Chain A
Amino acid sequence: GENVEQHPSTLSVQEGDSAVIKCTYSDSASNYFPWYKQELGKRPQLIIDIRSNVGEKKDQRIAVTLNKTAKHFSLHITETQPEDSAVYFCALERYSTLTFGKGTMLLVSP
């Protein structure tokens, strides 16, 4: 199936810093790129998504950028807070099913 590489696997930041997580993929047919946040013991929750006809989307402190030519997309979190600590997954969609990256554990220290 489609391969999605996600980096880094862990990311530690101080509260107030920015965090960036990047994913690369190989299949140019993908058109939908969601990001999920998973807190310990809970289900993945969609936090932001982007479609291939736009290059950037922002929602308060969270933004996603997409470079279809280079086949990568990134999650940007600004002014991080301790409650942002979680595992974040990128994914891409084909035929209404998702292929996920392996996840990034984000730790935000007060």
Chain B
Amino acid sequence: EAQVTQNPRYLITVTGKKLTVTCSQNMNHEYMSWYRQDPGLGLRQIYYSMNVEVTDKGDVPEGYKVSRKEKRNFPLILESPSPNQTSLYFCASTLGGEGTDTQYFGPGTRLTVL
């Protein structure tokens, strides 16, 4: 089954404790993105990747890191989480290119930073 998976689905942590949210897709997609969703603000892009070892900042990259060492995986790293990073996070992937724009979203990760 074609899908995007994220882990963990729920996480409660404390300020400053490094964490990683994993994202994996099995569709051989070139493009992957991370979004955060906050009430009244919609979904805002954090980082995106156009291929292995190619990443770029989205609209709200501060406090986050990503890596793309393999095509299928695109982990989101919070080196020193703060309470303002409490949010719902979605990973998404797309094949990319004209006519193949459909984005596939993961199930989401609800993060609480105390």
Q: Do residues A97 and B45 form an inter-chain contact, with CB atoms below 8 A?
A: yes
- By a CB distance below 8 angstroms, the chain B residues around A95 are 50
- By a CB distance below 8 angstroms, the chain B residues around A97 are 31, 33, 45, 48, 58
* A99 and B103 contact, Cβ closer than 8 Å, known pairs A1-B58, A43-B90, A43-B108: no
Within the complex, which residue of B42, B50, B102, B106 is in contact with A100, where a contact is CB–CB below 8 Å?
B42
A89 proximal to B (CB < 8 A): yes
Q: Looking at chain A, what size class is its interface with the partner chain?
A: 20 to 34
Within the complex, which residue of A1, A34, A45, A89 is in contact with B59, where a contact is CB–CB below 8 Å?
A1
- By a CB distance below 8 angstroms, the chain B residues around A9 are 40
The residues of B with any CB-CB pair to A shorter than 8 Å are: 30-31, 33, 35, 40-45, 48, 50, 58-59, 90, 92, 94, 96-97, 101-103, 105-108
Taking A43-B90, A43-B105, A49-B101 as known contacts, 7 extra A-B pairs with beta carbons closer than 8 A to each other, sorted by chain A number, are A34-B102, A42-B107, A43-B106, A89-B42, A97-B31, A97-B33, A102-B41
